[in-house]
Amino acid sequence: MAMEVEKLDENEWQTKLRQLNESGHKELVVKRNFGHDGQNTLAEMARQHGLHFHAYNKGKSLVFSKVPLPDYRADLDERHGSAQKEINMSTETERRVENLLAKSIGTSGIIGSSSTSSPTSSQGSKQSLPNMVTTDGESRARLGVPKEKFSLELRDMQISKKSTPSARAMQSFREKLPAYKVKEEFLKAVADNQVLVVSGETGCGKTTQLPQFILEEEVSHLRGADCNIICTQPRRISAISVAARIASERGENLGETVGYQIRLEAKRSAQTRLLFCTTGVLLRRLVQEPDLGGVSHLLVDEIHERGMNEDFLIIILRDLLPRRPDLRLILMSATINADLFSKYFENAPTIHIPGLTFPVAEMFLEDVLEKTHYKIVSETDNFVGGSRRRRQLSSKSDPLTEMFEDVDINNQFKSYSISTRQSLEAWSGAQLDLGLVEATIEYICRNEGDGAILVFLTGWDEISKLLEKIKANTLLGNSSRFLVLPLHGSMPTVNQREIFDRPPSNMRKIVLATNIAESSITIDDVVYVIDCGKAKETSYDALNKLACLLPSWISKASAHQRRGRAGRVQPGVCYRLYPKLVHEAMLQYQLPEILRTPLQELCLNIKSLQLGAVATFLAKALQPPDHLAVQNAIELLKTIGALDEIEELTPLGHHLCMLPLDPNIGKMLLMGSIFQCLDPALTIASALAHRDPFVLPINRKEEADSAKRSFAGDSCSDHIALLKAFDTWKDAKRSGRARDFCWQNFLSPMTLQMMDDMRGQFLDLLSDIGFVDKAKGIKAYNHYGHDMEMISAILCAGLYPNVILCKKRGKRTAFYSKDVGKVDIHPASVNAGVHLFPLPYLVYSEKVKTTSIYIRDSTNISEYALLLFGGTLKPSKTGEDITMLGGYLHFSAPKSVIQLIQRLRGELDRLLQRKIEEPRLDVYSEGKGVVTAAVELLHS
């Protein structure tokens, strides 16, 4: 049935594909694992042939299959062994569940509830959210101050604040910024055009000055009371810091005329005329106010970053502009792709502002090699006749690396030394040479002037290895002369002051960082940047429904941004550890996030904003996502019951729209509130939605590992570990020991605090949509909050269809998922290294392909959790089998047991349906019998 080949070169694909297409073969088995790029190449070609292939790993081979996924069953035995699970229910359990169920059917009154439309739920979804941006253009008027008077007040205040000596000093500083030179041109363009694109390099003052120009202009023309300027920022930190900066430039306190609003935090008042908020906050506001009533000017900053929120917002705004002719839209971008946005908005005029940073010299690999005399040695050079072309076959390579391998080094680099040319011959873009990084750092320290060094690396591993190399280095290892600091989003050092502070004068600071230092964290005193040219980047493989996190070449735009990090205080130097030819071949910009991410949450938001059919709407994007990615998202939303067959929101979908969460996590939260597990559901949802509170220290990772495991106990669950860690932190906090507790248990206090705040927000939202009555307190919804089986069932209800089969293979266990076949447990999971699981399945919240396909966090669950809280059950004709997940999960049992399970499940579903349609229904008392029967079964 399968065609087999060893490895294919690019031209052979075409032929093989055609053969596969025309033949009766079902699969193409490629024996070499040639990596993700190869898969995508084939996928692309297949699409051109009008075929969709499904790829999965099978041992060391990669299999491409024509078989559509629902027809999985036939292949199951061959690939996974038998996936059939026998349900062994004791007659005692059967009898008890039977009794509980019989009782409940008599009393609960839940039979015959068949309404499908829901007036109550749609009412619920129109209720207002707390922490929402509210229109307050008229708020002062409402407070009794007439508009005209308020405008006068604002103007007089602006005049008086400008006359103080400190304000004059501030003004002269502002006048030196490049943005000041375009002030009149800018204000005229804003007055004359509905849309304007402003491009400018960092340091030109566009973010701090342009919104301020508008504010000053409006206030001085006595339009202050009517103006309502919003400026969006992609990150929380920048929303706060820019607002604070502008308030101080105006000589005001933050929260007066200038304020900010980010999730769970705001500083603003009725006077506020200029508000900085994150893009996410504005998108939430659009749910309530599709026309942005009351907003006079909207500035969208950093659109060149092409974040998902910003791309999404821009589609909505383009449609909104005709309905709001008085609204002014200003898009702010880096220079590099301003034209793209101008074209998108019917050739809107653009204004360019030159930058004001110090010049940064740049060097490429060839120059770095000349200076450092470092010799790159290829691993395969030791073999006789190891030509460069041959080496490429042995390593996973990418187009840029391959391109350079075809370059005639001696010809192209005539003017360079022989040693450099040899090194260039040996260089491979596939692997970073840490020795070269070390040599470059050493060169700077020996030969260049003072100033901090910032090294861009791809991840934890490289940072850790380089740190060790530096420690062992005879010069750099001297800790009284060199301060070497790792900087990684998951390391506990991120907020330590020494990263930002200037070191003592005889000491040089060397920061080893990931992408985090590209835009999120700014270190002012950097003079030297060393750039490895790569970053770990997410991508989304729509064919296999798989998120990937793989190192790849950065774009020219990112390289430019990294270089700029060296010129903030004085002229700097950027050492690029890749050849100039590679730099020239880099993509202009990074692929926008909307093309690199699963889209379920975005699709849900599109539905909640009533923007029409998802695919039609997304086709209007600057760069529309792949059709298959959209289909996957819609299908998932249907699977979890958020969308119906005609892609309309179900009552459940309406509720999920109100929760700022991934739909799966939102569902888990709702299920937790319904089934008396509110407290754990709040905690787990906030951790999954925000970030993992466990940090990864560089030297003590074994200790960190065991701390996490001790929280999990014998639960076989990362989610329980999160829960226990959070609860223990709360206790420690109450007794004033939070700081020590976090340090000893490798937890991030900031993340835990954020989780705590988010729990509060979720509780408010659940209360708004009627699922809980806040006045009664969490305890009233937490009867099973300490019941592990019930918590696992809730996790299953929320995380489905993210299910993994655990299959015993001798002393070990192997893991399989429906979409990609064999997967591994991530080594940071508490389930890594567990050989025998008490229960046959795992549910997970994240599956990511890195060096392998890993399940990052998982919880071991029983067949009953799946049968009662998983996907739709499909009984077989014989009545002795039930399947789920398109036949992937298969259960068998005696007829009576199957019938019992179906009846119980039916009652549970009806109860749930009624609750979703009438959120205020008291499930705990009305459906007590059904719930107790379910709990009984989960415990058996």
Partner DNA sequence: GAGCACTGC
Min CB(756)–DNA separation in Å: 14
Binding site residues, DNA, CB under 7 A: 234-237, 262-263, 278-281, 283-284, 307, 309, 458-461, 488-490, 514-516, 520, 535-538, 549, 601, 660-662, 689-691, 696, 701, 705, 826-828, 832-833, 850-852, 854
Nearer to DNA, 27 or 705 (CB): 705
Contact assessment for residue 747 and residue 770, using Cβ atoms and an 8 Å cutoff: no
Min CB(909)–DNA separation in Å: 28
**Residue 632: burial class (beta carbons within 10 Å; 0-12, 13-18, 19+):** buried
Min CB(852)–DNA separation in Å: 6
Nearer to DNA, 202 or 590 (CB): 590
Min CB(833)–DNA separation in Å: 4
Residues 6 or more apart from 362 whose CB is under 8 A from it? 563, 573, 574, 576
Q: How does strand 328-333 pair with strand 297-300?
A: parallel
**Tokens 């800790």 -> residue:** 479
Per-residue buried b or exposed e for 183-201, using 16+ beta carbons within 10 Å of the residue's own CB:
beebeebbeeebbbbbbbb
Contact assessment for residue 108 and residue 928, using Cβ atoms and an 8 Å cutoff: yes
**Residue 621: burial class (beta carbons within 10 Å; 0-12, 13-18, 19+):** middle
Nearer to DNA, 362 or 601 (CB): 601
Nearer to DNA, 125 or 309 (CB): 309
Nearer to DNA, 120 or 850 (CB): 850
Q: DSSP letter at 555?
A: P
CA distance 234 to 306: 10
Min CB(61)–DNA separation in Å: 17
Nearer to DNA, 79 or 856 (CB): 856
Nearer to DNA, 662 or 789 (CB): 662
Nearer to DNA, 350 or 520 (CB): 520
**Tokens 């299953």 -> residue:** 796
Min CB(804)–DNA separation in Å: 16
Closest alpha carbon to 518 in 490, 546, 555 = 555
Min CB(606)–DNA separation in Å: 13
Closest alpha carbon to 109 in 907, 902, 918, 937 = 907
**SS3 category, 664:** helix
Nearer to DNA, 204 or 283 (CB): 283
Per-residue buried b or exposed e for 634-655, using 16+ beta carbons within 10 Å of the residue's own CB:
bebbebbbbbeeeeebbbbbbb
Q: Which long-range contacts (CB under 8 A, 24 or more apart) does 164-173 make?
A: 164/251, 166/251, 167/251, 170/248, 170/249, 170/251
Contact assessment for residue 717 and residue 858, using Cβ atoms and an 8 Å cutoff: yes
Min CB(534)–DNA separation in Å: 10
For residue 682, CA distances in Å to 371, 668, 754, 851 come to 56, 9, 12, 32
Contact assessment for residue 214 and residue 367, using Cβ atoms and an 8 Å cutoff: no
Min CB(538)–DNA separation in Å: 4
Beta strands in 819-886 (DSSP E): 821-825, 841-849, 853-861, 874-875, 881-884
Nearer to DNA, 31 or 701 (CB): 701
Nearer to DNA, 460 or 729 (CB): 460
Q: How does strand 195-200 pair with strand 84-86?
A: unpaired
Min CB(484)–DNA separation in Å: 17
Nearer to DNA, 79 or 465 (CB): 465
Q: How are strands ordered across the β-sheet holding 350-353?
A: 265-267, 258-262, 274-278, 229-233, 297-300, 328-333, 195-200, 350-353
Min CB(406)–DNA separation in Å: 29
Min CB(578)–DNA separation in Å: 19
